[in-house]
Structure 1
């Protein structure tokens, strides 16, 4: 499995296991199954209320672990990370993200300043953001001189955020895709189905392979072993240039499915 080099020099697995909406009581088994398949990155967040189960499922220190700061704690990121670490059973995480900029709260710059200190203290080996738009990124970089290692954003074939991807690339920020499969309509799109049939693959595998081919980090969620195994097998899929172009053509600037970062 490919690793991506972050702007702080660390290597992060390109494909990871997302855990959003997997209950705390079930997530440990999912994480263990993922590790058995070969996954080496697990993504969680304080908001998911499953950090304890994720920690139980890991049971080892050689897996990249990401968690996130919710915006009700922008004023005390150090305490929020300590609470997450206690649940996870760790003394550090590999990546700590500000989950949303929440501009109405007017504290995301303060939160980023705290994350820089947490990185320097070793509690977060790398730091980044999630759902940040260029204006939010400019604000935190101007305030600290520190560029996030990762910007995790909604990104799927029907909402590709190309301008934001370009901004990230220009500043050496790795783009990581959440909701990478879109919704059911994306998986049923005739262009995706045709590629899947030709390659003897599932539509979900085709879309994961598209993200990987584009050089994006990607964290599809899977709640059962069959879906986990299918997602992992996408690493063996090779799309043609024509396949990639066909999926690129699905982009819709109005295709956002989650909240607008300017409003949440």
Structure 2
């Protein structure tokens, strides 16, 4: 089972101070604090409202909490969305929230996720910036809810190409990881190790701390040297302690830290 987040970093030197502050909080798993920075703008600005909702949806996926708050933020964002691009982004977040609920067995909303992703796809032009993230999330649904690795691989490859074209390094870290996971599933150890290593490299370069422990554990799964694999898992456990057990689903799967 794999769990992921939204794209975009706020680490570009051209980003304004607000986006830089939001990214720093988000990358350390402080989604509520990051959303609070956007709240004064989210009341009347569709982009800010969508970003705030995306942060709170991501929090649900990593912590398995905050569902009502994310739902409320998403409804506000949907109400402010007026262009096709804004409506598509809101639908993509709606689908992600429903996917997370289904994946984490809070409530089965898989049909809602499919429907929302379908609405987003209908609204987005083929080369639109948001299509890469949408393709990626449709791949997650295909892999983890529909058990269709072939469809997932096709979606991940489209997302990977789109993320490359738009220079979205964070999304690339996710597409590398998911494609590597499918390679590992097929017994392609060298390909899997390369993909997991690329995912980890990108996350470390971006400072995406909350996503680094999962990348370390994934790389350990493809590492034939047991000592190296154990060092990777030990580092992952150290980061989990630092982040108070977030991601929660990863903390459950690893031995309790000493």
TM-score (normalizing by structure 2): 0.32
Higher relative contact order (CA 8 A, sep 6+): 1
| Structure with greater proportional helix content | 2
